[in-house]
Structure 1
Amino acid sequence: MSSTRVHNSTPSLLTDFKEITKMRLAISVVFSSVAGYFLGADQIDFVTVLLLAIGGYLMVGASNAYNQIIERNLDALMDRTKNRPLPAGRMSVTTAFIIASIFTVLGLIVLYIINPKTAMFGAISIFLYVSVYTPLKTITPLSVFVGAIPGAIPFMLGWVAATGSFSIEPGTLFMIQFFWQFPHFWAIGWWLYDDYKKGGFFMLPTGKRDRGTAIQVILYTCWTIMVSLIPAFGVTGKLYLTIYSAVIIFLLGMGMLYYAVRLYKEKTAEAAKKLMFASVSYITLLQIVYVLDKFIRQWI
């Protein structure tokens, strides 16, 4: 028994660290933040980009570690989470709390070096995620609304890091990612409904995989597309989108809407899984298109 532990210690420690901080999710958040920075910056300061990436990763890692501490007993009930470090007993609560605390302090320091507003929004994000969203997940479907707030901050955070101010431009970036999170998380909630039910989590707006939830998925997908196109009308300050990029965003949105409609028609876990992947593709490609649009306009 002991020899097995020694043999697996190094990869297990690394794997558990990646799991407790949800490295893949953290990297996607960093990507959003950096995209927001490129959109807001007049000149690219790669030191700031590095600080934003490090600070963003630390804050997301801290949020996820706190989340897993709070939900460790519920995670043990669900197939997809029962092998996480805490419910599986490979990591102690004390160790996880130390990691989360160090990440929180270092993350805030790094973001404060960029500018105080960036640190402030980072602090708001971790507070809402850990202290409001996490407890509400087992109480009400409205938890998704609360969780969409910290989830929408990264894209906006990059602009704030670049400019040191909050205005209509980062507000628009926030709204894009805010509305996007509803169809995204409801697709996950539908796909993993049975597993979430074991843990007592209420993720779907009606609480069921039914017509009402599917209709809301379609509505929020439409609102996501509409908000994403607002910069093309020249009403969002320095945040602007050319007609060519707007067409691309619209087509991407139609792709996501197609899978939302399929979920409405089929009402299956497989359809929800496809919508989830479509939503991830949409927000990632949207951010790339926004950034490319800005720099192509500058070069031309």
Structure 2
Amino acid sequence: MAIVKNSVDDQAFRMSEATAGDFFALLKPRVMSLVVFTGFVGMVAAPDTINPFLAIIAILAIAIGAGASGALNMWYDADIDAIMSRTVNRPVPSGKVTPHEALTFGLVLSVLSVMTLGVLINWLSAALLAFTIFFYAVVYTMWLKRWTPQNIVIGGAAGALPPMIGWAAVTGSLSIESLVLFMITFLWTPPHFWALALFKSQDYERAGIPMMPNVKGEASTRRQIFAYSLLLAPVGVLPWILGYTTVGYGIVSLALGIGFVWYAWKVLQMPDSDRVMKPAKQLFAYSLLYLFVIFAAYLADSVVERVFALGGA
């Protein structure tokens, strides 16, 4: 193996000891699984159909593109990842993968995923995937994250695009319905990550990342979390209001939205002296459940509606 210089610890040279598991960790598999799931929902919800084999290829391309974004993020953020307790064991700061390996891996996967989607599926979905990778790796990671407390708000667009990519992969176009799916994830992102930032603010402060609690204070962050929750709750119900789903989805999404606002209200009422941050941790956990269940409900609704349509035919 070639001897490479570790940019995280520039006082020593070392041999690359990366394993397949280390490279898999570079893909941020937990984030990737959420991207794949929301992208799959976009595909199933689309009014047209796609060959099952091509659908698998499209999902794999979306997954690889999401993983490429994660690898490029870890390459660039190795310096601050080494400072924060939440990220110190990631492959690059822990020394398992060299920065050069992470960069090369991310770039190769980026090109592979976009070209696969473009050549085998369609170029609209490929263009959206390319934009997603660029926005996350360059606009968010290299610029917004270290520059503005609105980093999560603007950068959240990258994580919200997979349902639109899935929709475009099937139809070759976009629609209001796919935009609504985008908006659900887009509005979900700030309260989700700001809840995390509340009880990890010391990590972000040590790393010099201008997250909302560190820049505007905890009280302002709690108010903004609640405001975004009030926006998210009705948007989550919007697919039913617009007639895209049945009342079953409407009931589930309404209940989920009420729950989100309730947890956000508990965060809003949290005293400044609360160092345990239990309400913030509860909201963070609930937000993960919210996004999974609301997209699962949308998926189930789309599948049931399609089955009944076929039965009626």
TM-score over 0.5 for the alignment? yes
Shift of 1:138: 1.6
| Bigger proportion of residues as helix | 1
Question: Aligned partners of 2:258 and 2:220: how far apart in 1?
Answer: 21
Q: Percent identity?
A: 32
Deviation beyond 4 Å, 4+ runs, structure 1: none
Shift of 1:206: 7.2
- Is residue 119 of structure 1 aligned with residue 119 of structure 2? no
Q: How does 1:210-225 map to 2 (within 5 A)?
A: 210-225=218-233
Question: Aligned partners of 2:258 and 2:54: how far apart in 1?
Answer: 35
Provide Cα deviations, 1:81-102, integer angstroms capped at 9, x if missing partner: 1222211222111111121111
Question: What is the aligned partner in structure 2 of residue 131 from structure 1?
Answer: 138
Question: Aligned partners of 1:31 and 1:125: how far apart in 2?
Answer: 16
Question: Aligned partners of 2:205 and 2:278: how far apart in 1?
Answer: 18
Provide Cα deviations, 1:225-278, integer angstroms capped at 9, x if missing partner: 11122222236xxxx122232111100111122211111122553221211111
Match 1:31 to one of 29, 37, 54: 37
Question: Aligned partners of 1:83 and 1:208: how far apart in 2?
Answer: 29
Match 2:100 to one of 87, 94, 99: 94
Query: What one-letter code is carried by the residue in structure 2 that aligns with 1:28?
Result: L
Query: What one-letter code is carried by the residue in structure 2 that aligns with 1:163?
Result: T
Match 2:155 to one of 147, 151, 158: 147
Question: What is the aligned partner in structure 1 of residue 9 from structure 2?
Answer: none
Query: What one-letter code is carried by the residue in structure 2 that aligns with 1:142?
Result: Q
Question: What is the aligned partner in structure 1 of residue 68 from structure 2?
Answer: 62
**TM-score for the superposition, normalised by structure 1:** 0.90
Question: What is the aligned partner in structure 1 of residue 311 from structure 2?
Answer: none
Provide Cα deviations, 1:11-38, integer angstroms capped at 9, x if missing partner: 9613311221111211111011001100
Structure 2 residue runs of 5 or longer lacking an equivalent are: 1-14, 309-313
Question: Aligned partners of 1:137 and 1:122: how far apart in 2?
Answer: 20
Q: C-alpha root-mean-square deviation of aligned residues, in Å?
A: 2.0
Question: Aligned partners of 2:199 and 2:169: how far apart in 1?
Answer: 35
Query: What one-letter code is carried by the residue in structure 1 that aligns with 2:83?
Result: L
| The 10-residue stretch of structure 1 (41-50 or 216-225) with the greater mean CA deviation from structure 2 | 41-50
- Is residue 108 of structure 1 aligned with residue 110 of structure 2? no
Query: What one-letter code is carried by the residue in structure 2 that aligns with 1:283?
Result: L
Q: How does 1:126-275 map to 2 (within 5 A)?
A: 126-134=133-141, 135-204=143-212, 207-234=215-242, 240-266=244-270, 268=274, 269-275=277-283
Question: Aligned partners of 2:121 and 2:212: how far apart in 1?
Answer: 37
Q: Summarize the Cα distance change of 1:155–1:191 in structure 2 as closer, same or farther, 3 Å threshold.
A: farther
Q: How many residues align?
A: 287
